[in-house]
Structure 1
């Protein structure tokens, strides 16, 4: 009997109670593929659930990894015995995001952050822009005098708390905005960097801001619009248009090249990645390096997941790497994802699902991934005609990307319709 005709014993399991079936062993062809497994599960649910009316699309997991090959090939690749009964978990498949809108800018888009029904963008034409998620421009501001690299809301999901932008003009700006109006005002200028600012992150409690740039320094600032007890009074000086100048609370040295991404792990620990091939973790209370990880390529971006406590990075190569900084055994790189054909410029975890993330690259591609499927992304999101420079998934409803085609593309998450 050849492998195509041989049978394997499997048990189909799920944590989704509305799709549960008796977990009795079943015999299936060893060469069974995803589509046939899907038909089998739908048939079994229909036989066991009288209210199951419409077939569903399912994905299948063996020992925590999505099955993308014929069953026997997957088992062989992962050195899983075919002699015992194999547990296969099935989960409802993540639906493909649907294109919703595109936002045309006058130049390259380098920064994006969503909150509620609003989207912030930063642009190479020196502008900071505020849009609705349905494509309406609320306001465009040009208070910076060089490229705006990043824009971040000061409080996750709450645009009424304002936002911060950073620029190659060596400054950051703290902005106030009352949702529902087109009145946006820069209130505080962050001054202290000696070269262009590339990255910014806000602590979970919104009390501190961290910035990094081409001077290789990580700087910590007060995130408040009010005066700060740590700030000397003589350091708060009103400049043109009533904008207050604020200087950093602390400057942390350690990187040798520009800091390309900043992630606050919690209110006390900051992670940075740099073109100097390193990931560093900083103590934001004692103001020193806790530990660092040396990579092989320049890091272009990173995204921290508080759900899985892991760090995604992308580098000056085609790969996305998932790091577990807590590991004490084996490599800190837990998974490598390869599908882009040019440099990967940006990555962003979903804030609501510990397995899902998105990426964008110089190959004009935006990809939606499941971390349990390193062999291939779930979906390719089409639309960009140039390099993708930034992606964002801060609002669960929208996957957003921007790039050198001057466009921001908005895809709607069909799970949240």
Structure 2
């Protein structure tokens, strides 16, 4: 297969080749990456819960009681009482009638979109939506229309032209994972009601982060009961693994019967489910974690802007530092790593050409000393490469 070597060589030549980094320690604010001690500024472990003692204890207890594996799909032998408890807890957390857990957020998006839409339907998807949404749209065989990022006027014009379809679905990220900005959910709700469309929100980067209860972007905007489908993950702020969809009882019952990525997968092991349940309890008992997270994000973002870096958004703990050129982005990330800060460079095709960036994320567990050292590294690396003066 000579074409593989050519394709890989082309990626290397254009600085688009990806290498995996090896974590030699846990997802704490200071960790070891590729054998080097560094400040971790790239984890989605927003609240620092992956190492929380209550989550670890719950996972250990579940292994002792239930074993290490689920042994089958949820519809055969893999449905434990713990799975049902977690789904009830998620529904309560999201203020919906019901919820269903998938093995990953990717599987939740693909399974939900393909179950709800087909070739008789039309989907309107924001141009910066996550890859799992894009793939779900492609697999659904529905007509998919990509609308300009957050451009409500453009979306409405497209909706006005949509006629003769069985169903209309509007799908968007709640927090866009690479830009860190929020979807204009109140306006999207208005459009969904006006044009009789289903509205689906991917809250992967908002769950546990936004809203007065930490319940996500829908909670943040006060739109409970207004959005048909709320998807999210258990692998980011929740500190465990898996994805979920929350909504009406009928929606969840339908997905359990129609979503292929749910039906044909061995269910998540009890230890993972128990950790997610514990995380929901810890998160709701300790709102100060979320407050600290946002204070840390504000402090780091402000420091970077004062130095002269271009920050793409200011609404979440995702802080994209725009570099532009892919080569220079790779160099910036390497300089930061040499200075003891791990923050990866993000390049096409993950982001559009000319918008390569260092994607920074903060955690509630970062100390002021961590952030000050990170800022010093950014200043030194940025000046070295001529990104800032």
Pick the TM interval, shorter chain. Answer: under 0.3
* Structure with greater helix share of residues: 2
* Structure with greater strand share of residues: 1
- Bigger relative contact order (CA 8 A; separation at least 6): 2
Report the TM-score when normalising by structure 1: 0.24
The structure with more radius of gyration: 1
Report the TM-score when normalising by structure 2: 0.25
